[in-house]
Amino acid sequence: MKSIIDQIFCTDALEGMKQLSSSYIPLVITSPPYFGCRVYGNETLGREENPLSYVENLLLFTEEIKRILSDAGSFYLNIGDIYFGTKGFSRNKGRYARKTDTHYKEHKIVKPDGKYLQYKQLLMIPERVAIGMQLQGWILRNKIIWEKPNPVPSYSPDRRYPVYEYFFHFVKSRKYFFSLEIAKKYNHHRDIIRNGIEPFGSHQASYPLSLIKPFILTTSKENDIVLDPFMGSGTTAVAAIETHRKYLGFEINPVFYDESHKRIENVKNNTSQKLVQTI
């Protein structure tokens, strides 16, 4: 690859990461497609027939991230869970069908097995991925709960409302870059972080810029490269620019790729205009 810094590539992240040198990237922040939730386009991750196959597939990506992450680097993995039998992956007919079912119609139908796969079961997918990563040699430093004061409603009369997702903070070695002082400055020093969702453009699953920037500031230095293998609407890249870091990303869906590209160009133009005004 020629100069790959400050670019997003419209390609599969696993293939893209294979082009990168080992121990090259100081910080990775990402939110992969969750199992059985949204259909973004022609991606395959998240649409497996069985949640355990999803875990296996996602672990192929985390293995590659481990190879390209620098020894003092960090990896923040944002991942949410799902109740078996909700959304479109297990039932798309009958009384549990949701109005949005057409949106999920391309998911395979997963049958209950009466043990792990039972309707209403919380699948513990984030924990399964995290344990798989520990077996790959990762060190889990924090299981951060991102509490949302304004979550997308997920109502059921016989359980409490789900209002959080995880950000797992993984490292490769015991010595890595992290500033608790900076974390305190941004109220990011506790392992429960309350931050509202901030939808962006047509992407239905963007994470908030205001949540991502402090992760970058606490865990990398100026001009470091921040990689997001599942770039979506470009939030990680914008957060990197606004914190004076470099960015690099992959996004398989051409629509989101274009949208993120435009978003980033706007941010770059605004940033350079502000600089001219200051001079």
Contacts with ligand SAM by CB under 6 A lie at 12-13, 31-33, 40-41, 43, 45, 203, 205-207, 230, 232-233, 235, 250-253, 256
Return the number of the residue (128 or 203) whose C-beta is nearest ligand SAM: 203
Q: CB of residue 175 vs ligand SAM: minimum separation in angstroms?
A: 28
Q: CB of residue 17 vs ligand SAM: minimum separation in angstroms?
A: 9
Instruction: Sheet with 164-171: list strands edge to edge.
Output: 7-9, 246-250, 225-228, 25-30, 69-79, 164-171, 139-147, 192-194
Q: Which residue is nearest to ligand SAM (CB)?
A: 232
Torsion, Cα 100 167 26 216, to 10 degrees, reads: 90
Please state, in angstroms and rounded to a whole number, the distance separating the CA atoms of residues 242 and 268.
Answer: 9
**Assigned token pair, 76:** 């923040």
Return the number of the residue (248 or 252) whose C-beta is nearest ligand SAM: 252
- Report yes or no: 224 and 246 within 8 Å, Cβ to Cβ: yes
Please state, in angstroms and rounded to a whole number, the distance separating the CA atoms of residues 195 and 215.
Answer: 13
Q: Map tokens 């990762």 to a residue.
A: 138
> Which H or E element spans position 9?
strand 7-9
Which 8-state DSSP code applies to residue 153?
Answer: P
Return the number of the residue (203 or 246) whose C-beta is nearest ligand SAM: 203
Residue 250's nearest CA partner among 6, 4, 12, 33 is 12
Return the number of the residue (112 or 147) whose C-beta is nearest ligand SAM: 147
Q: CB of residue 28 vs ligand SAM: minimum separation in angstroms?
A: 12
- State the sign of the Cα–Cα–Cα–Cα dihedral 64, 124, 207, 178: negative
Please state, in angstroms and rounded to a whole number, the distance separating the CA atoms of residues 179 and 163.
Answer: 28
Return the number of the residue (112 or 208) whose C-beta is nearest ligand SAM: 208
Torsion, Cα 241 61 38 113, to 10 degrees, reads: -160
Q: CB of residue 5 vs ligand SAM: minimum separation in angstroms?
A: 18
Return the number of the residue (62 or 206) whose C-beta is nearest ligand SAM: 206
Please state, in angstroms and rounded to a whole number, the distance separating the CA atoms of residues 84 and 81.
Answer: 10
Q: CB of residue 217 vs ligand SAM: minimum separation in angstroms?
A: 17
Return the number of the residue (13 or 181) whose C-beta is nearest ligand SAM: 13
- Report yes or no: 79 and 32 within 8 Å, Cβ to Cβ: yes
Q: CB of residue 201 vs ligand SAM: minimum separation in angstroms?
A: 8
Q: CB of residue 112 vs ligand SAM: minimum separation in angstroms?
A: 26
